[in-house]
């Protein structure tokens, strides 16, 4: 993979190290009452946890552009088969993570495309809290779940 200008670690004032010099973004795909989650490979940062496909944002990208690019790289989805609805931002002032919420057309088929994930699975909303979630996704999940319920009922 080519070097991107967003690749790199940020030492955040929250005390954590975050990936993405310009922040990071991920794509949360919704279909019916299920969400597409990625089981992260053990070797990646916060590995062996479940989260959304995503990664570092480059300086020229919006959060939506970064989330879709990362999801295409990591899952092989076709962007024309999704509809973006809203974004949830976890803003740390010197770093941010944007969860882009989009609905997936029934024809959208995710494929495991790169080594960063070990599994992709459509998971019922009410099962999410019981999973071993990526720490940042776990922190955002209550607010993201509220947004999902407002959008999709």
Residue 101's pLDDT is what? Answer: 97
Asked whether residue 4 is domain-assigned, the answer is no
- In terms of residue numbers, what domain contains 88? 9-152
Asked whether residue 15 is domain-assigned, the answer is yes
Asked whether residue 1 is domain-assigned, the answer is no
Give 30 or 135, the one with higher predicted confidence. Answer: 30
Asked whether residue 35 is domain-assigned, the answer is yes
Backbone Cα Rg of the chain = 14
Long-range contact pairs involving 128-132 (C-beta distance under 8 Å, separation at least 24): 128/35, 128/37, 131/37, 131/50, 132/48, 132/49, 132/50
pLDDT-derived band at 3 (thresholds 50, 70, 90) equals low
Q: Choose among 92, 59, 74, 95: nearest CA to 26.
A: 74
Q: How many domains does the chain have?
A: 1
Asked whether residue 142 is domain-assigned, the answer is yes
Residue 119: strand pairing partners: 39
pLDDT-derived band at 29 (thresholds 50, 70, 90) equals very high
Q: Choose among 44, 73, 54, 68: nearest CA to 137.
A: 54
Indicate which CATH number applies to the domain containing 105. Answer: 3.90.79.10
Residue 5's pLDDT is what? Answer: 87
Asked whether residue 130 is domain-assigned, the answer is yes
Task: State percent of the chain over pLDDT 70.
Answer: 97
> Rounded CA gap, 50 and 53, in Å?
9
> Taking 60 as the threshold, does the pLDDT of residue 2 lie above it?
no
pLDDT-derived band at 106 (thresholds 50, 70, 90) equals very high
Task: State percent of the chain over pLDDT 90.
Answer: 57
Asked whether residue 2 is domain-assigned, the answer is no
Contact of 11 with 27, CB cutoff 8 Å: no
Asked whether residue 77 is domain-assigned, the answer is yes
């Amino acid at each position: 993979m080519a070097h991107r200008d967003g690749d790199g670690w940020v030492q955040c004032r929250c005390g954590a190290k975050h990936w993405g010099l310009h922040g990071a973004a991920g794509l949360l795909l919704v279909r019916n009452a299920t969400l597409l989650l990625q089981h992260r490979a053990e070797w990646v940062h916060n590995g062996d946890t479940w989260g959304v496909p995503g990664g570092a944002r480059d300086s020229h990208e919006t959060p939506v552009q970064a989330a879709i690019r990362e999801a295409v790289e990591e899952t092989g989805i076709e962007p024309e088969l999704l509809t973006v609805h809203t974004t949830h931002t976890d803003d740390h002032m010197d770093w941010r993570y944007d969860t882009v919420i989009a609905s997936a057309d029934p024809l959208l088929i995710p494929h495991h495309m790169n080594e960063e994930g070990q599994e992709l699975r459509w998971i019922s909303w009410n099962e999410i809290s019981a999973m071993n979630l990526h720490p940042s996704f776990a922190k955002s999940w209550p607010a993201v779940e509220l947004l999902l319920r407002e959008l999709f009922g």
